[in-house]
């Protein structure tokens, strides 16, 4: 699907879609074509619907994976092929609402201490201290550090939006020490073998999981858990939800409000109505 792939890529670039989203959508169309061993522009609406049911019933993919397939295929047929009449979807069932596990402050400190290299430690500290997404911390540049205003500039984060986050004095001190040691030129955390390029998300994930295992943290928390911990710990410390929303770059306040369910200190500090009886 060489020509179709180029056409799809062009449509997504014009809409300024993120690289990882573009890659995921193309992969979904490629998987569909491999499944039927035919060009995707020759498939019928019924065949596409059958493929989505195959993902659900036979491959038993998670609902989030099925929805990604749905969105990728819809984009291809509606936007690339201009076949707006194509109508297919996955069954709408209520997905279970699971709250993520949150690392405690003590676990966060253990994670930092378990990093083998100082560069790795500062990378993890920056991710937590500013509440960054993985793609955002990988793309940081030396020039994004503003020690005068004590801010970190996040350029073109999710939704292609720029924003500012916190630069803590403790992090600034370690960043300066790291810069004296490694002298990064453009990218704040360059790749080890190709310093003219930023660290890859894959390499960053390896750094995190190696430190998590050495720290003996048993919670099943990925590197995105540092962002969850950032928001939750801020909320527990008394920061208002609207400020946290701006720091995280959430477009919808409801996305930020879920951290109210994770703030353990607020929960444990709340008195049960049983204690109010007879008073």
Q: Which CATH number does the domain housing residue 7 bear?
A: 1.10.150.130
Active-site annotation holder among 74, 214, 250, 266: 250
- For residues 127 and 249, state if they share a domain: yes
Give 258's pLDDT tier (boundaries 50, 70, 90).
confident
Boundary (domain end) residue, out of 80, 96, 121: 80
Question: pLDDT tens digits for 218-233?
Answer: 998 999 999 999 999 9
Q: Is residue 187 part of a domain?
A: yes
**Cα gap 53→83, rounded to integer Å:** 21
Boundary (domain end) residue, out of 80, 114, 143: 80
Q: Is residue 279 part of a domain?
A: no
CA distances from 56 to 40, 52, 145, 190 (A): 20, 6, 45, 40
- For residues 143 and 30, state if they share a domain: no
- For residues 164 and 76, state if they share a domain: no
Active-site annotation holder among 22, 212, 227, 233: 227
- For residues 216 and 118, state if they share a domain: yes
Known catalytic residue: 158?
A: yes
pLDDT higher than threshold 70 for residue 157: no
Number of domains, the chain: 2
Known catalytic residue: 34?
A: no
**What number is the average pLDDT over the span 56-83?**
90
Average pLDDT of the chain? 88
Q: Is residue 85 part of a domain?
A: no
- For residues 122 and 76, state if they share a domain: no
- For residues 143 and 216, state if they share a domain: yes
Q: Which of 90-104, 149-163, 239-253 has the lowest mean pLDDT?
A: 90-104
**Cα gap 47→73, rounded to integer Å:** 12
Q: Is residue 55 part of a domain?
A: yes
pLDDT higher than threshold 90 for residue 156: no
Which domain CATH number covers 147?
Answer: 1.10.443.10
> From the CB of residue 145, how many other CB atoms can be counted at a distance below 10 Å?
20
Active-site annotation holder among 35, 158, 258, 266: 158
- For residues 136 and 260, state if they share a domain: yes
Known catalytic residue: 15?
A: no
Known catalytic residue: 173?
A: no
Known catalytic residue: 133?
A: yes
Q: Is residue 46 part of a domain?
A: yes
Domain that holds residue 133: 105-267
Active-site annotation holder among 133, 212, 228, 233: 133
Most confident of 99-103, 141-145, 155-159: 141-145
CA-closest candidate to residue 44, choices 77, 4, 19, 11: 77
Boundary (domain end) residue, out of 63, 80, 97: 80
CA distances from 50 to 46, 63, 90, 91 (A): 6, 16, 10, 12
- For residues 127 and 73, state if they share a domain: no
Q: Is residue 138 part of a domain?
A: yes
Active-site annotation holder among 63, 74, 110, 224: 224
pTM for the predicted model, two decimal places: 0.68
């Amino acid at each position: 699907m060489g020509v179709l792939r180029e056409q799809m890529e062009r449509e997504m670039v014009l809409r300024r879609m993120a690289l990882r989203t573009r890659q995921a959508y193309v992969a979904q169309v490629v998987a569909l074509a491999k499944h039927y061993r035919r060009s995707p522009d020759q498939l019928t609406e019924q065949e596409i619907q059958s493929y989505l049911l195959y993902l659900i019933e036979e491959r038993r993919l998670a609902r989030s994976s099925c929805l990604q397939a749905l969105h990728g295929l819809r984009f291809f047929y509606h936007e690339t092929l201009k076949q707006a009449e194509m109508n297919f979807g996955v069954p709408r069932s209520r997905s279970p609402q699971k709250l993520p596990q949150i690392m405690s402050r003590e676990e966060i400190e253990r994670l930092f201490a378990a990093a083998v290299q100082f560069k790795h430690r500062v990378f993890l500290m920056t991710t937590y201290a500013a509440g960054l997404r993985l793609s955002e911390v990988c793309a940081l540049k030396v020039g994004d550090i503003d020690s005068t205003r004590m801010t970190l500039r996040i350029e073109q984060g999710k939704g292609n939006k720029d924003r500012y986050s916190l630069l803590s004095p403790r992090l600034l001190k370690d960043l300066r020490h790291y810069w004296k040691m490694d002298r990064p030129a453009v990218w704040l955390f360059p790749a080890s073998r190709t310093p003219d390029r930023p660290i890859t998300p894959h390499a960053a994930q390896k750094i995190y999981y190696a430190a998590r295992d050495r720290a003996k943290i048993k919670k099943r928390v990925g590197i995105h858990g540092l962002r969850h911990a950032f928001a939750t710990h801020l909320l527990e410390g008394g920061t208002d939800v609207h400020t946290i929303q701006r720091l995280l770059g959430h477009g919808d306040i409801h996305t930020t409000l879920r951290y109210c369910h994770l703030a353990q200190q607020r929960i444990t500090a709340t008195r049960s109505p049983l204690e109010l009886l007879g008073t």
